[in-house]
């Protein structure tokens, strides 16, 4: 019997530019792709290619210095166009330009009845290992990990997001094979979280848990906290259902399907659409002729408005490769009374604003609407984080670098994305996700 969990804390943001049941579906073959190691926390990159070198699909571009078996691979056949480095020669991205070569993609030898070690090896060399995360620390799984449980999220509740199950519907055989592979890596359970009312059937070996569709129910950390919380000494892994299907395909065929399905959304998109493409595709290709020509400055985000990266039109599709959002930048807006305006077009959950009661969709811009200030202990964070933690005190402990308090207040359970909604509602205008990321990195280094 399926377990059902109804969250009461959270918020679904009403934004213009969402997908519809009749939205167009496009297939975009990128001219080039970019792989950014910063998208994979805990991965210390060392390049395996040089500029001008020819690579085939599935060939490694980088490996992890801590575990050389863990690779980031090329999703296309082509030529390494550039290896961009930043301060202290840090690798910022590797760009591969597509070629017309018909080179056979890299195949991985997977036994018919793989052991846990066979699965680990296959995931590492295929690049799929890097698409999973562990708690604590929200980083790539470590080779020494023996996870207590593994959590698969089959829903995305972020603003304007795509229906994750819709992108993998009909691939139940691959899901079952993926679950079988994951079961060989844990003595515990494999949980798959889906939205209430989902058509997803039962999968052998997995426990299906239904959540109501209230953001942040789609966050892995929220699902873990409400199913089987992480305590000190526990290690769990998490991934999304798209990666689960890719793992199943790898186990069945020895190859990885690198195709990704992306939602192109936002109030500044002329026609919101679904795009089938490859990881790291140029945003200019995905948005070609689809950004409104309304004279406004645009913020082009790889991801959703809460956790995405401001890439600009020259940027690339960043992991987790699900969404592109375009909204007004707001730096060219001249608004009467500024942030204090009582216009019904202003989006706010505060009862001080008329828009709170109209039930309409909004097209907010990227302005901060106020300066950063000291943390206001108002309890506002708690309304948007459906986890058994005290977020304000945890953040204070992180800022103070108080390890004992951080442990006691739940640092092992959280990831930066769990604080994204609270960051949106924060009257103090603090960068909560950055604070949490720095706290997790500090804990990993010190503890």
Residue 287 pLDDT class (50, 70, 90 cuts): very high
Does the pLDDT of residue 352 top 80, yes or no? Answer: no
Does the pLDDT of residue 62 top 80, yes or no? Answer: yes
**Percent of the chain scoring above 70 in pLDDT:** 96
Is residue 118 a contact partner of residue 223, using CB atoms and an 8 Å limit? Answer: no
Does the pLDDT of residue 1 top 70, yes or no? Answer: no
Average pLDDT, the chain: 93
Q: Quote the pLDDT of residue 340.
A: 67
pLDDT digits (tens, 9 = 90+) for 423-432: 999 988 899 9
Does the pLDDT of residue 338 top 70, yes or no? Answer: no
Q: Quote the pLDDT of residue 409.
A: 96
Residue 103 pLDDT class (50, 70, 90 cuts): low
Does the pLDDT of residue 357 top 80, yes or no? Answer: no
Residue 345 pLDDT class (50, 70, 90 cuts): confident
Does the pLDDT of residue 39 top 90, yes or no? Answer: yes
- Over the chain, what HEC string results? CCEEECCCCCCCCCECCCCCCCCCEEECCCCEEEECHHHCCCCCEEECCCCCCEECCCCEEEEECCCCCCEEECCCCEEEEEEEECHHHCEEEEEEEECCCCCCCCCCCCCCCCCHHHHHHHHHHHCCHHHCEEECCCECCCCCCCCCCEEEECCCCCCCCCCHHHHHCCCHHHHHHHHHHHHCCCCCCEEEEEECCCCCCCCCCEEEEEECCCCCCCCHHHHHHHHCCCCCCCCEEEEEHHHHHHHHHHHHHCCCCCCEEEEEECCCECCCEEEEECCCCEHHHHCCCCECCCCCCEEEEECCCCCCEECCCCCECCCCCCEEEEEECCCCCCCCCHHHCCCCCCCCCCCCCHHHHCCCCECCCCCCCCCCCCCCCCCCHHHHCCCCCCHHHHHHHHHHCCHHHHHHCCHHHCCHHHHHHHHHHCCCCCCHHHHHHHHHHHHHHHC
Give the integer Cα–Cα distance in Å for 397 and 251: 43
Contacts of 406 (CB under 8 A, 6+ apart): 394, 397, 398, 439, 443
pLDDT average, residue stretch 128-147: 97
**Calculated CA dihedral for residues 293, 296, 302, 304, nearest 10 degrees:** -110
pLDDT digits (tens, 9 = 90+) for 164-178: 999 999 999 999 999
Q: Quote the pLDDT of residue 339.
A: 64
pLDDT digits (tens, 9 = 90+) for 70-93: 999 999 999 999 999 999 999 999
Residue 358 pLDDT class (50, 70, 90 cuts): confident
């Amino acid at each position: 019997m399926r377990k059902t969990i109804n969250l009461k804390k959270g918020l679904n943001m009403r934004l213009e530019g969402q997908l519809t049941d009749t939205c167009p579906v496009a297939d975009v073959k990128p001219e080039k792709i970019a792989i950014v190691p910063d998208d994979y926390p805990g991965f210390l990159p060392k390049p395996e290619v040089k500029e001008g070198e020819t690579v085939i699909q599935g060939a490694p571009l980088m490996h992890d210095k801590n575990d050389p078996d863990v690779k980031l691979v090329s999703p296309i056949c082509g030529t390494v166009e550039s290896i961009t480095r930043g301060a202290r020669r840090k690798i910022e991205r590797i760009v591969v330009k597509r070629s017309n070569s018909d080179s056979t993609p890299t195949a991985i030898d997977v036994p018919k009845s793989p052991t846990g070690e066979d699965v680990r090896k296959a995931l590492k060399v295929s690049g799929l290992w890097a698409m999973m995360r562990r708690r604590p620390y929200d980083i790539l799984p470590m080779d020494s990990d023996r996870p207590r449980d593994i959590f698969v999220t089959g829903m995305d509740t972020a603003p304007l997001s795509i229906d994750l199950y819709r992108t993998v519907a009909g691939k139940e055989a691959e899901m079952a094979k993926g679950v079988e592979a994951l079961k060989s890596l844990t003595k515990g359970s494999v949980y798959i979280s889906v939205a209430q009312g989902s058509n997803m059937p039962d999968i052998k070996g997995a426990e299906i848990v239904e959540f109501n569709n209230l953001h942040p129910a789609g966050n892995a950390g929220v699902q873990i906290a409400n199913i089987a919380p992480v305590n000190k000494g526990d290690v769990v892994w998490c991934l999304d259902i798209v990666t689960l299907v890719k793992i199943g395909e790898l186990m069945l065929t020895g190859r990885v399907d690198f195709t990704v399905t992306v939602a192109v959304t936002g109030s500044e998109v002329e026609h919101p659409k679904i795009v089938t493409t490859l990881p790291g595709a140029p945003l200019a290709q995905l948005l070609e002729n689809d950004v409104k020509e309304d004279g406004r400055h645009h913020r082009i985000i790889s991801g959703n408005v809460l956790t995405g990266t401001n890439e600009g039109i020259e940027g690339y599709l960043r992991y987790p490769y699900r969404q592109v959002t375009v909204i007004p930048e707001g730096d060219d807006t001249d608004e009467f009374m500024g942030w204090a305006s009582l216009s019904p077009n202003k989006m706010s959950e505060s009862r001080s604003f008329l828009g709170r009661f109209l039930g309409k969709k909004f097209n907010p811009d990227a302005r901060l609407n106020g300066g950063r200030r000291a943390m206001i202990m108002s309890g506002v964070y708690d309304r948007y984080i459906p986890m058994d933690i005290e977020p304000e005190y945890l953040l204070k402990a992180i800022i103070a670098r108080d390890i004992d308090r951080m442990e006691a207040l739940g640092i092992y359970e959280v990831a930066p994305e769990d604080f994204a909604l609270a960051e949106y509602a924060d009257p103090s205008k603090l960068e909560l996700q950055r604070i949490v990321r720095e706290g997790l990195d500090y804990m990993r280094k010190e503890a």
